[in-house]
Amino acid sequence: MDFITVSSAGPITTITLNRPEVMNCINPAMHHELQAAFDAFAADASQFVAVVTGAGERAFCAGSDLKARDLGAAYPASGYAGLIERFDLDKPVIAAVNGLALGGGFEVALACDIIIASETASFGLPEPLVGAVALGGGMHRLARQIGLKQAMGMILTSARVSAADGMRLGFVNEVVTPDDLEAATLRWCEAILKGSPMSIRASKQTVMRGLDEPSLAKAIANQTRYPAYAAWRESEDAREGPRAFAEKRAPQWKGR
C-alpha cells in the first residue's frame, strides 16, 4: 500500500488515509487500495470492527485529489474509496474524523456507521464551488441521515459545518478534543465488542435493509428473511449468550 496504511489490534482493523501532505486527498490508486483493504476486512473472520481515519492533524480527507484526477479512471467494484457502494458489509465501521472531511472525505465518513469527531473537524460538500457534483453518495446519505431541509441547506450552499454542528444535526455521534480522539474511538470499539459479532452484524443489516422496505410493517415482517438473521440464528454465538448468562460468566464470542 502506497497511500494508505492498514493495521490490526485484536479484532479491530484501522485503515488510515496516508497522504497528509495533501490533506489525505484521494487519488485514483487510493480508491483501489481502499477497495482491497475493505475486502480484506470483510473477509477476515478474526476482524469485527473497522476504524477509518486520516494521517496527520489537518484532515481526515479533503476529498478527491483534483490535480491527480483521471476522468477516464473507473472506481473499484464498491465505488468511491472502495466503500460508498459497499452495501453488503455487515461489520461495523467507525470514522475517526481528525480534521477536514470535505467532499469525498465527508462522503466516506457518512458511509461509516458511527462518526467520532475531533473538535477541530469540519464537514461539507463543496463540490459546486469547483463546478462538480457530490455523486459519491453524500447527497443521498446526508438527506437520509439529517432530513431533507437541513441537508439541502448544506448541499445547495456548499456550507462547511463544525463538529459541534454535525452533532447537533445528527450525523456526528461524539465530539472530543484532538488528544482524546483515539481513546474515544477505542471506547466505542470496545463497547461494540461487548456484544456478539453475529448479533451486531444481524442488527446492522436489519436496520439498513429495513430502511429500504416500503413501510415499518414490511420491515418488521421481513426482518427474519435477511441473511445475517439466518446466520445469527444458526451461530455458536446465539447458543453461547444464553449459556453464559445461565452460568453467570462472561460470554466468549466466536463471531461464528
CATH of 4-193, one of 1.10.10.10, 3.90.226.10, 3.30.70.890, 3.40.50.2300: 3.90.226.10
pLDDT in tens, 8-46: 999 999 999 999 999 999 999 999 999 999 999 999 999
Given this model, what pLDDT does residue 73 score? 72
Residue 174 annotated to the active site:
no
Nearest residue to 52 via CA among 90, 98, 21, 87: 98
Q: Distance between CA atoms of 224 and 77, rounded to whole angstroms?
A: 28
Q: Distance between CA atoms of 237 and 47, rounded to whole angstroms?
A: 15
Taking the whole predicted model, whether its pTM rises above 0.85 is answered as yes
| DSSP string for 101-166 | EETHHHHHHHHSSEEEEETT-EEE--GGGGT---TTTHHHHHHHHH-HHHHHHHHHHT-EEEHHHH
Which residue in 21, 57, 85, 107 is the catalytic one? 107
Residue 119 annotated to the active site:
no
Given this model, what pLDDT does residue 71 score? 58
Which residue in 33, 57, 127, 247 is the catalytic one? 127
Q: Could you tell me if 141 and 111 are in contact, meaning their C-beta atoms sit under 8 angstroms apart?
A: yes
Given this model, what pLDDT does residue 195 score? 96
Per-residue pLDDT of the chain (256 residues; tens, 9 = 90+): 899 999 999 999 999 999 999 999 999 999 999 999 999 999 999 999 999 999 999 999 999 988 776 656 789 999 999 999 999 999 999 999 999 999 999 999 999 999 999 999 999 999 999 899 999 999 999 999 999 999 999 999 999 999 999 999 999 999 999 999 999 999 999 999 999 999 999 999 999 999 999 999 999 999 999 999 999 999 999 999 999 999 999 999 999 9
Q: Distance between CA atoms of 196 and 231, rounded to whole angstroms?
A: 12
Domain boundaries, the chain: 4-193, 197-246
